[in-house]
Amino acid sequence: MYQLVDGDRTARAIYSGGWRPATSSVEVTEKATGKALFDAGVATRDDVAAAAESALAAQPAWAATLPQDRAAILYRAADLIQRHAEEITWWVQRETGGTAMKAGFEIFNAGTELRQAAALCLAADGHTLPSTVPGRTNFARRVPLGVVGIITPWNFPMLLAMRALAPALALGNAVLFKPDVNTPVTGGVLLARIFEDAGLPADVLHVLPGDGVTGAAVVEAPQVRMISFTGSTATGRLVGQTAGRLLKKVQLELGGNNAFIVLDDADVPAAAKAGAWGAFFHQGQVCMAASRHLVHRSVAEDYIEALAAEASRLKVGDPTDPTVHIGPIINERQLAKVSDIVDSTVAAGARTVTGGTANAPFYRPTVLSEVTPGMPAFEEEIFGPVAPVVVFDSEEEAVELANRTEYGLTAGIYTGSTSRGLSIAGRLRTGMVHIGDQTINDEPHIPLGGTGSSGTGGRFGGVANVEEFTEWRWFTVQEQQTGLPY
């Protein structure tokens, strides 16, 4: 089996009209050990400008490609992801700090996103409508936007890229894609090679790794009609401001501070297992992580004990070790942020039940009790393996605590009563609610997204992708012109 990451072509290069040398590069390191792995090309503003012109020229022919031929390319890309699963896993473990299980999650879901998007190619794309004008036929069609800019983060670089790339391409758009500079291989080089080998025309997709300067160039490029951004709320606000000023469509999928509610009738051991997964999966570096564990006072002591036991049994270390559950934090800055939030929360009166210490680049799974509103671990998105536990006395208080945040991404509710769970779910201001489950869930055909500071209401998944990556166009047919006043 050939390798996707071919140093002769892909090192110190960007994919824009094929592989070409970049004027600058960034060293990719193994997050657990610091070992140098690869030199990835970084795109400049000039690279973005040239890519935008090329994408604009290539898009009409791609949109005119027969839908079954576009779908076939996406199906081939999905097959290639599975075929190269071993190499992709190698990069996910080393470049993102994820375990083999995390890599499997990305590989499976990225392939599923492609297959789901391929189905859009042959889906109905419009309506025939009545007319008030005699002899006229009205119809409205969804048509591609043209050139779409996609900017994605480092935590799930392949999956979160594919969530936007696959439907944007399926629906006839060309794409300027900027992966995060922390993960330019998993989030960029691998994807470029996969689409290249699947037969996607080279000028339809431009993969332009870089930092905020590169991202700003993508947002500002006049040829780009829409920006799909997944990342932090702070950066998303800047993206939204710029896109709005330039009258561009924008889709923002941002951060979260998600409530995991455990009611007094819950199966506590089961809830603790779910809460541990929701809080600690991929070191808690997940926007949908269980960020605040809201637990009824009558079961709080048992829940904290069970959750701490779950946290304590998780092995921390190099994710290439198959026995490891918790890998490294992505970089020093994020590790310092996690440590600061925990330390300042404890200084404010919370108690460390387990964890609470770092051994760079690792942070132990941490359970905090006696957390109250106003403390940093309650108010902020931690993005680390930390489970703050907050006690409540009534359903009304649980709802109030869950909604006491600017974010509105997802929530989980553990209860022995489905009707009780549904009643509470209806009062939560979130884009997603999972009853009898934790907060991290992802299915490619489901409209996925948040509200408030978690996003602008745009959605990924299934028919929602059609709404996001196309626009309506009205057509009329008039066989014989009649009734004009002059």
User: Which amino acids are annotated catalytic?
Assistant: 253, 287
Q: Is the dihedral of CA 179, 184, 189, 194 positive or negative?
A: negative
Q: Which residue has the tokens 């991404």?
A: 409
**Cα-flanking dihedrals φ and ψ of residue 43, to 5°?**
-85, 140
3-state secondary structure of 369: strand
DSSP secondary structure code for residue 282 in this structure = G
3-state secondary structure of 378: helix
Question: Alpha helix locations (H) across 94-222?
Answer: 100-120, 157-170, 190-198, 212-220
Helix (H) or strand (E) holding 339: helix 332-347
For helices 212-220 and 233-245, what crossing angle results, to 10°? 30
Query: Distance between terminal CA atoms of the chain?
Result: 71
Bridge partner list, 260 = 293, 412
Q: Which of 366, 395, 204 lies closest to 297 in space, CA to CA? A: 395
Count Cβ neighbours within 10 Å for each residue of 11-23 and write b for 16 or more, e otherwise. Answer: bbbbbbeebeebe
* Those residues with Cβ within 8 angstroms of residue 57's Cβ, 6 or more apart along the chain or in another chain: 203
Helix (H) or strand (E) holding 277: helix 268-280
